[in-house]
Structure 1
Amino acid sequence: MDYKQLEAFEALLKYGTYSKAAKAIYISQPAMTVRIQSLEKFLDIPLFKRNGHKYTLTVAGTVFSNYVRDIFNLHKESLQAINELKGLTSGSLRIGASSFSTYVIHSMIKNFKESFPGVHLSFYITNTTSAIQDLIDNKIELAIIASSYDANQFKAIVIGYDTLIWAAASDMPISNCQQITREELEKQCFIIREPGSNTRMQFDNWCNQNGFYPKNCLVMSQTEAIRRAVMNNLGISLISSYIFSDEIDNRKIKIINVSDIPIERPISIVMSKNYSEDTLTQAFIIFAKSYFKCK
């Protein structure tokens, strides 16, 4: 089944005769007949029946016509979208993002700016709660978060997935333990995010689920500060694997095996429910999906 066959089907449906339909799409009547017959052969069912001097749809043809109409509408919309993208030479977009994105979006932004150099992007790196509040206050149009959201107030598109791991410097004693005991964990200093961060919420949930109450915690509001603290043996941290991807590869950081970890969480682009997605927004979402698919 191909587009030319669907075009012939639509023409015969509209004009009712092979001669008029063929003329409308600039082909010969025999070619028109071949296209309809090939389509019916492919589907293994008649789509038209003769009704006097005209051809009308069978029951199967009526069902099929609904899908053909959708295909042509999508075709028209896709061409329109491409033409709009070609003309996307200006515009601005304000985007909030939770702190893990600091380590993953720079390449995506670079590629996007190379494709649309006239577009202005503004990024505001914060924690999840603040990013959501900025959406509510209309300070940003989009938020990139790795957390749940209020579906009654927002709509979202999942663009990828993040994994939370327990990370420690490779020369810390706990990094060499094959099986981490509760006693060993209790000796550690836990470097954690501030309240309002989804990573902090995941840490608190893990502690509650395991009846674990850490005695030694170091709270930091910046992911980069946590990364440096872990690298300098100040403690261990539940943190996005994106943040230590290079260090894990070169074995400066080790992933600690602890029960119920790692935790996978979706990365979403969130927007207000009443936000109308323009061409710029759609282009950015497509780039974001493509980027995280390759990560």
Structure 2
Amino acid sequence: MKQATLHQLKVFEAAARHGSFTRAAEELFLTQPTVSMQVKQLTKAVGLPLFEQVGKRLYLTDAGRELLATCREVFERLSQFEMTVADMKGLKQGQLRLGVVTTAKYFVPRLLGPFCRRYPGIDISLQVTNHEGLLDRLNDNLDELQIMSQPPTSFDVSCHPFLENPLEVLAPHDHPLAGQKNIPIERLTGEPFIIREPGSGTRGAVQRMFEEHGIKLKIRLELGSNEAIKQAIAGGLGISVLSRHVLALEGGTSMLTILDVENFPIRQQWYVIYPKGKQLSVVARAFFDYLLDEGKRVAEDTAALKFRE
């Protein structure tokens, strides 16, 4: 391994992550033969095969999996070192790797803006996926911090609430129940529902709520994005339960309304998490502290929004 180079390790990590030399080459702005050659040289240095190919897909061998874990540890330590040195110089520079669930994209950019103005030397890598996707990223240690509404129970994580995440019943503004007060939850029996895809944290919370009250959801549509669900509601295809944050940019022009249903909103929190025992980089620590300080202000701004009744 003394003959292995940092460049070869970066090429190998990209190929392992994508399961493809071609996609690794596209990411790294290299040619596919160059990627193949770098991996071949690294394989020679290791002395064991790193990949096996089945069809067009690359799969890691046991040695390859061990090397991938080592690569990620090396890259993380190097990143921490770079940012520690920058901090010693009185600077905040480097990259923040942040993973968030889909709904968080409605407020996270509003938090990132002031943070980036405060620390202009920081680059943000923001990955948006559903709850199960975040767990996969957590397992692979791809993010420094993650933002989600349902902390994982299968991982040992440090978990800190910083913002309320109320789940509301949304309907088109001309729905027969619009404007009524204290609507019994049983009145939603038989209403066509539009829900998120399996694996969504919002979907899990909604199903638990209705199961507790013995109500079976009449699912008309499953959609993979909140924006698609909002459009479907506005089009009269049904009602849904989504975070109040999905309406944050609409204000009084929204074609949707929040129904005043008993037992709603479902009270949840947004959490910032990271693996327990993980040493946060200087940049990640700065953003973590910023979230805990600024989260309350964002919550107050969201609570002040007015929607068409």
Question: What TM-score bracket applies, with the shorter chain setting the length?
Answer: 0.5 to 0.7
130, 147, 151: which one aligns with 1:148: 151
SS at match of 2:165: strand
The answer to whether the Cα contact below 8 Å between 2:186 and 2:215 also exists between their aligned partners in 1 is no
Counterpart CA distance in 1 for 2:267 and 2:293 is 19
The answer on whether the counterparts of 2:182 and 2:262 sit within 8 Å (CA) in structure 1 is: no
Listed as ranges, the gaps of 5+ residues in structure 1 are: 1-80
1:284 lines up with 2:287 in the alignment: yes
Larger Rg: 1
Query: 4+ runs of 1 displaced by more than 3 Å?
Result: 83-86, 176-184, 245-252
What's the counterpart of residue 27 of structure 1?
Answer: none
1:212 aligned to 211, 215, 229, which one? Answer: 215
Q: Please give the per-residue CA displacement for 1:146-182, whole angstroms capped at 9, x wherever unaligned.
A: 1132386111222211111101121122214335356
1: CA distance, partners of 2:243 / 2:132: 17
Give the structure 2 partner of residue 132 of structure 1. Answer: 135
Asked if residue 97 in structure 1 is aligned to residue 100 in structure 2, the reply is yes
The letter for the 1-side match of 2:98 is: I
* 1:31-110 matched pairs, under 5 angstroms: 84=87, 87-110=90-113
Superposition deviation, residue 210 in structure 1: 0.8
TM-aligned CA distance change 1:151 to 1:284, over 3 Å:
farther
Q: 1:161 to 1:181 in 2, by over 3 A?
A: closer
Q: Which residue of 1 aligns with 2:124?
A: 121
| Identity across matched positions, percent | 27
Equivalent residues of 1:143, 1:271 under 8 A apart: yes
Deviation at 1:86, TM superposition (A): 7.2
Q: 2:258 corresponds to which residue?
A: 255
In structure 2, the partner of 1:221 is 224
**Alpha-carbon RMSD:** 2.4
2:43 aligned residue: none
CA distance in 2 between partners of 1:242 and 1:224 (Å): 12
Match of 1:77 in 2: none
Number of matched pairs:
214
Q: Is the 8 A contact 1:174 1:184 kept in 2?
A: no
Confirm or deny: 8 A CA contact 1:166 1:261 kept in the other structure: yes
- Quick one: distance in 1 between partners of 2:132 and 2:99? 11
Aligned amino acid, residue 222 of structure 2: V
